[in-house]
Amino acid sequence: MQDFASAAMVRLLVRAMRAHGLTPPPVPQGLEALQGSHVPLAYKRSVVESVLHQGGLGTLLMLAQRVDLLAGDPVHRALLGANNVPELLARWHRLERYVHSRHQVSIESFSPGTLVLRHHARHSAPEEPLPTESLAVLGVLMGASHALGVRGLEVEIGVPGASTPPAILYADPDIGSRQADLHTRLAPLAAQRQTGHWTLRWETHHTGNPPTAPDMGPQSTTHLCDTLAWPHVAHQLARHVLKDPTAQHTVDALAEHAGLARRSLQRTLTQHSLSCRHIVTEARARVAAQWLLDTSHGLAEIGFSCGFADQPHFTREFARHVGMTPARYRHAFANGA
């Protein structure tokens, strides 16, 4: 997979390697700073192989937890807009759908404070994920949970009741110790292709938001709809969407935020020729326009971060609200054009 999510994973691992004194492979010519939306599969594999050679499976899992090193990336901002582990997983599922990932994380069972998950191939995919791919995804989810302030996160890797005992570990980005021991515990699981079976447990009585909100972009975005001739409640909803455009802003959720019954909200908006869908899409399009002009992030990354279902949806809705496609808008107006 060479999509922007995969490219973000490579950026994370390369930055984490450097931060912890490891040496990443040379960046291919034309991929300076790895800031593009696509990274060749060969380079992705060389990064993983380099991590394994210099540290092992334990190091790979620990490095993937360093999501703080992706601060400013659209993927980072989108994932860390979650409030808890289930919401984080819902956002991860959106990312999988957006990039049409060959692999997915499925929920096997859920109860308060416990999630049983499986990382596996979609029905249309020819191959199951490699053990290293599963560990990298798990590391990101663990690191994001840690960044969200989740308390007492415990992860069990392996198939319950299997002959190979599971590995139990805790969310902790520190790789200064224990990596060799962790590799020893993970190696048999990798050999048995069991690294994609996870049980996550955490404290439910603590709701931990990060101490600071993730980077929203080049500047504050909550004002972007203020000049529109909308009623107060519409501006209230727009500012709410602009704070976290990645979230699933359903009519019921917006009505709850506004303190109104669903039908009352819809009736009020209809009186002004508005709808929840129009407000949400207008807000998302305006955030996207700002990111298109003020950052070098790829179109697919921006579309995902701004809450669109996929890139065609982003292109279609942006053109409907702005008057031109995202690519044409950036070409026409970015960098003072």
Q: Which of 158, 178, 201 is the last residue of a domain?
A: 201
Q: Is the pLDDT of residue 123 over 90?
A: no
* Residue 254 resides in a domain: yes
What separation in angstroms does the CA of 21 have from each of 6, 25, 93, 239?
A: 23, 13, 33, 42
Q: Is the pLDDT of residue 179 over 80?
A: no
Residues 247, 286, single domain; the answer is yes
Residues 191, 284, single domain; the answer is no
pLDDT tens digit sequence for 131-144: 999 999 999 999 99
Q: Is the pLDDT of residue 76 over 60?
A: yes
Residues 14, 146, single domain; the answer is yes
Residues 89, 174, single domain; the answer is yes
User: Comparing 36 with 108, which gets the higher pLDDT?
Assistant: 108
Sheet with 103-111, side-by-side order of all strands: 103-111, 114-121, 197-201, 154-157, 167-170
User: Comparing 269 with 33, which gets the higher pLDDT?
Assistant: 269
pLDDT given at position 250: 96
Helix, strand, coil share of the chain (percent; to 5): 50, 10, 40
Quote the number of domains for the chain: 2
* Residue 224 resides in a domain: no
CATH number, residue 275 = 1.10.10.60
Round to whole Å and give the CA distance between 173 and 143: 7
**3-state SS assignment for residue 107:** strand
pLDDT given at position 46: 94
CB atoms near residue 153 (< 10 Å): 19
Residues 21, 160, single domain; the answer is yes
pLDDT given at position 333: 82
Residue 337 banded pLDDT, cuts 50, 70, 90? very low
Residue 111 banded pLDDT, cuts 50, 70, 90? very high
Neighbour-count burial for 276-297, b at 16+ CB within 10 Å, e otherwise: beebbbbbbbbbbbbbbbebeb
- Residue 178 region by backbone torsions, left for phi larger than 0, else alpha for psi between -120 and 50, else beta: left
* Residue 220 resides in a domain: no
Residues 139, 263, single domain; the answer is no
Residue 191 banded pLDDT, cuts 50, 70, 90? very high
Residues 150, 236, single domain; the answer is no
* Residue 221 resides in a domain: no
Round to whole Å and give the CA distance between 182 and 173: 13
pLDDT tens digit sequence for 197-248: 999 999 987 555 544 445 545 456 889 999 888 999 999 999 999 999 999 9
- Angle 65-63-166 from CA coordinates, rounded to 5°: 75
**3-state SS assignment for residue 126:** coil
Round to whole Å and give the CA distance between 83 and 79: 10
Task: Provide the token pair at 225.
Answer: 């709809």
pLDDT given at position 1: 40
Q: What is the DSSP string of 27-66?
A: PPTT-GGG-SS---HHHHHHHHHHHHHHT-HHHHHHHHT-
What is the pTM assigned to this prediction? Answer: 0.80
Q: Which residues fall within 8 angstroms of residue 320, CB to CB, at 6 or more apart? A: 281
Q: Which of 179, 201, 223 is the last residue of a domain?
A: 201
CATH number, residue 168 = 3.90.1520.10
Domain membership of residue 50 as a residue range? 4-201
Residues 115, 241, single domain; the answer is no
**3-state SS assignment for residue 331:** helix
* Residue 210 resides in a domain: no
**3-state SS assignment for residue 105:** strand
Q: Is the pLDDT of residue 60 over 50?
A: yes
